[in-house]
Structure 1
Amino acid sequence: MESSTGGPVVAVDGTSGSGKSSTCRGVADRLGLRYLDTGAQFRAMTWWMLREGVDIHDADAVAARAGEPTIVSGTDPLAPTIEVDGVDVAVEIRSDRVTGAVSPVSTVPEVRARLLELQREIIDADGGIVVEGRDIGSVVWPQAEVKLYLTADANARALRRAAEEGGSDVAATERVLAERDRIDSGRATAPLVMADGAVHVDTTYHSLDEVIDQVVQLVQQAVG
C-alpha cells in the first residue's frame, strides 16, 4: 500500500525528548526514504520572528507576519537542512532563546496554517518520507500508511535532552519539557494527541538501535 507520494508516509508524533528525531533519521536512512523535521520549521519561524523584533506573546502580531519568511527544509536524513530567506539557521534555531519562544509562536493558528501548507507540499513530492512532529498523524497527514506515537518517562526524556544540550541541569530540563507538553497538548489548534490508528512506542527502556529496528519492522509490515 502506497500513498500518492509514490512511497510510504511514516508519521511520527510524540513528546519532546522521546527520541523522535534520532529514530526518524535512522528509519529514513535504513529504508531509503526522505525525512522531514516539522519542529525545525516552527523553530525557524520563531527565529525569524525574534530577529524581526516581533512580540512573540502578541498573537495578532505574529499572525500578521507569518506569511513573510521563506522556509526551506532539506530532506536528506543524514544531513537535514533548514534555511530561512536563504540563510542556514540549523544552529541558531537550537538556541535557548528560540527554545523558550517556540511554544507561543507555535500556538498561533496562522503560523500552523502556513507551515501545514508547506509540510503537505513536501510530503506530496516524489518518494516516501518519514515525518516527525506533534500533529502529523492527526492533522498534517492523517492518511499516512504508518502512524507512530513515541513517548518515554519524564526522567528519561530529561536525561536525553540534557545530554543533547551539553550537560544541562536535568531537573530544569524536565520542567521545561513538561511545560512544553502542557502548552502543546492544550492548544486549540492541532494539539499534541495520539492519532487514531497510531502505534504507541515507549522508548524509555530501549536503545536507539532497538527503537529503529522496531519502527522499520512496523513500516515493512504495513507496506509489504
Structure 2
Amino acid sequence: MAKELFDALASLRVGRPLVVAIDGPSGSGKSSVSKEVARRLHVAYLDSGAMYRALTWFALEQGIDVKDAVAVEQAARDFPLDISTSADDEFVRVAGTDVTEAIREPVISAAVSAVATTLGARTELIRRMRATIEEHHRRIVVEGRDITTVVAPGAEVRMLLTASEEARLRRRGIQLGGTQSAEQLALQVTGRDAKDSAVVNFTQAADGVVTLDSSELDFAETVDAALEIVVRILNRD
C-alpha cells in the first residue's frame, strides 16, 4: 500500500460513522476482500451470507422444508444466532453449536437460495443486520448481495465488487481446495446467482454505487483498489 493511502486511512473519520457496504456475485472475492478492508479500517465486519447459510442449517436441522415459506419465515424469527463481527475471529454459532464449517458444506449451498429468496426470512435477517450495524456505532464493513441497496442504502461507501465468470469459478475452486467438480462449482457460483437474482440485483451497480472489477487484479491489488475507493468517496465530504 502506498504511503499516501496508508496516511489517509490512519485518520479516516475517527469517531464518526463509517459503514462500507460491499455487494457482489458468488466468487467475486467479496468476503476475503471485505475482511481485509475491515482490518485496515479498524472497524467491525459482518458476513450477511453466513447469516442466510446459518438459517438454512437451522431449518434443515429442524426438519423444515426450505420451500415452505411460512415455516422458513418463522424459523428466521426463532433461530438463536451468534455470529462474529471481527475479521480476525470468524465463527458462526446456532443455539451454541459451532456451524462455522458446516454452513459451507454442499448440502447448505444447494438449499440456501430457497431460504434467501423467502421474503419474510429476508425481512427478519435484514432487521438483524441493521441492528448489528447500529450496535457497532455504524463503523463496520458489511458484505452480501443487497447491502448497498436494501440493508444499508445510506452507507458512507457503497461498492459492487465483481469479476468475470471465469475468474469467479477459478477463485471458488481454489477456495474449496479442489474438492468440487466443475458442475458443483457452476451450481455454487452461476447457479446460485441465477436463483438469488429473482429477489435482488447484485450484478449491476445502483445509482451512487461504485463498481470494482477485480477480474485482472490479485487479492492485494483488489484490497488496495477498494481502499482507494473508500478514501476517494470520503474525501468528498
TM over 0.5: yes
Q: Which residue in 1 is equivalent to 2:162? A: 151
Query: Identity of aligned pairs, percent?
Result: 38
Q: Give 1:170's aligned amino acid.
A: A
Q: Which residue in 2 is equivalent to 1:47? A: 57
Q: Which residue in 2 is equivalent to 1:179? A: 191
Name the SS for the 2:78 alignment partner. Answer: coil
Q: Give 1:35's aligned amino acid.
A: Y
Name the SS for the 2:208 alignment partner. Answer: coil
Q: How does 1:44-193 map to 2 (within 5 A)?
A: 44-125=54-135, 126=137, 128-167=139-178, 168-187=180-199, 190-192=200-202
Q: Which residue in 2 is equivalent to 1:35? A: 45
Name the SS for the 2:141 alignment partner. Answer: strand
Q: Aligned to 1:215, which of 201, 226, 233? A: 226
Partner Cα distance (2:147, 2:193) in 1: 16
Q: Which residue in 1 is equivalent to 2:8? A: none
Partner Cα distance (1:218, 1:191) in 2: 21
Name the SS for the 2:73 alignment partner. Answer: helix
Corresponding position: 1:11 with 2:21: yes
- If the length of structure 2 is used for normalisation, what is the TM-score? 0.87
Name the SS for the 1:67 alignment partner. Answer: helix
Partner Cα distance (2:206, 2:128) in 1: 21
Partner Cα distance (1:65, 1:31) in 2: 35
Quote how far apart the aligned CAs of 1:171 are.
4.9
Quote how far apart the aligned CAs of 1:195 are.
2.9
1:47-75 C-alpha deviation (Å, 9 max, x unpaired): 00000000112222222332110112211
1:155-210 C-alpha deviation (Å, 9 max, x unpaired): 111111111112022354124311111111112xx443533211111111100100
1:98-133 C-alpha deviation (Å, 9 max, x unpaired): 111000011111110111111001111225111100
Supply the RMSD in Å over aligned alpha carbons: 1.7
**Which deviates the most, 64-73 or 131-140?**
64-73
Partner Cα distance (1:127, 1:80) in 2: 20
Aligned residues: 220
Quote how far apart the aligned CAs of 1:82 are.
1.6
Work out whether residues 149 and 199 of structure 1, in 8 Å CA contact, stay in contact via their aligned partners in 2.
yes
Quote how far apart the aligned CAs of 1:81 are.
2.0
Partner Cα distance (2:188, 2:106) in 1: 11
Partner Cα distance (2:48, 2:74) in 1: 21
**Which deviates the most, 162-171 or 53-62?**
162-171
Name the SS for the 1:11 alignment partner. Answer: strand
Q: Give 1:130's aligned amino acid.
A: V
Quote how far apart the aligned CAs of 1:30 are.
0.9
